[in-house]
Amino acid sequence: MAVVHRTTMTPGKLELLASWLPTRSWYQDPGAGSSPQPARAGGFRLDDPRGEVGIEFMAVSDGAGDRPVTYHVPLTYRGAPLDGAEHALIGTSEHGVLGRRWIYDGTHDPVLVERLYALVRGEAEPQAQSESDQPDPSVTGWYAETGHPGPVAVLGVSDGPETTDVPVQTPDGKLTLCVQRVLRPAPAQDDSGEQRPLGHVTAEWTLPDGTKARGRYAVVRA
């Protein structure tokens, strides 16, 4: 199980995200020269079986505009740069216990992508965001298919207006992990008319008024 250290990070994650968020295609610009005002709104963690990479799925509320927006930002924390991922680097931070950490947009990190797919398939246990050795049963994965677990190869990453799509090669063929960037509460019934996904990850976050919302953080499509 990953250890959550009670220490400082300089600069902090929210400070780094305040500069990074406006550079994303899915950022809902409030206009009028407003700067992002990111605040923690929830999330969870997954363990790296090798114990080398920190993996966090963070919900971040931005109250800069008239209508607050909650974003989903998957993050990985590494003790050394990830080869070939300079474009995905959010920033570096000095951790009070672990020293310098390289913080990446996790959709570009193959370790996070593999563990996210494992979570969808029920092969990874979600962990509490801020507690060590504490599973988070509120985070659920669902998968409609049966198949062969195995390595996942990332084939590409593309940002859209509300999602980041990550095509992957699995032992059973090609799939796309669609990471939801703008979080929205899930309706009681899926009446959107869209093709039903092969799988999804559902979790909670906290709205600005303090109430809880629940929706999909990611879906899997053929």
Digit-coded pLDDT (tens) for 85-122:
999 999 999 987 777 999 999 999 999 999 999 999 99
H, E, C per residue of the chain: CCCCCCCCEECCHHHHHHHHHHHCCCCCCCCCCCCCCEEEEEEEEECCCCCCCEEEEEEEEECCCCCCEEEEEEEEEECCCCCCCHHHEEEEEEECCCEEEEEEEHHHCHHHHHHHHHHHCCCCCCEECCCCCCECCCCEEEECCCCCCCCCEECCCEECCCEEEEEEEECCEEEEEEEECECCCCCCCCCCCCCCCCEEEEEEEECCCCCEEEEEEEEEEC
- Is residue 4 a part of any domain in this protein? no
Task: Please state whether 91 falls in left (phi above 0), alpha (psi between -120 and 50) or beta.
Answer: left
- Is residue 126 a part of any domain in this protein? yes
**114-155: per-residue pLDDT in tens?**
999 999 999 999 999 988 889 999 999 999 977 777 789 999
Task: Please state whether 21 falls in left (phi above 0), alpha (psi between -120 and 50) or beta.
Answer: alpha
Nearest-5° Cα angle at 147, 142 to 149 = 85
- Is residue 59 a part of any domain in this protein? yes
Distance of CA 214 to CAs 8, 121, 147, 168, 184, Å? Answer: 29, 20, 28, 26, 8
pLDDT of residue 191: 45
pLDDT of residue 149: 73
- Is residue 2 a part of any domain in this protein? no
Q: What is the extent of the structural domain holding 105?
A: 9-221
pTM of the model: 0.92
Say how far apart CA 91 and CA 16 lie, in whole Å. Answer: 7
- Is residue 56 a part of any domain in this protein? yes
- Provide the domain count of the chain: 1
- Is residue 167 a part of any domain in this protein? yes
- Is residue 189 a part of any domain in this protein? yes
**8-61: per-residue pLDDT in tens?**
788 999 999 999 999 999 999 887 667 888 999 999 999 999 999 999 999 999
Contact by Cβ (8 Å): 116, 46: yes
pLDDT of residue 189: 47
Say how far apart CA 125 and CA 2 lie, in whole Å. Answer: 12
- Is residue 199 a part of any domain in this protein? yes
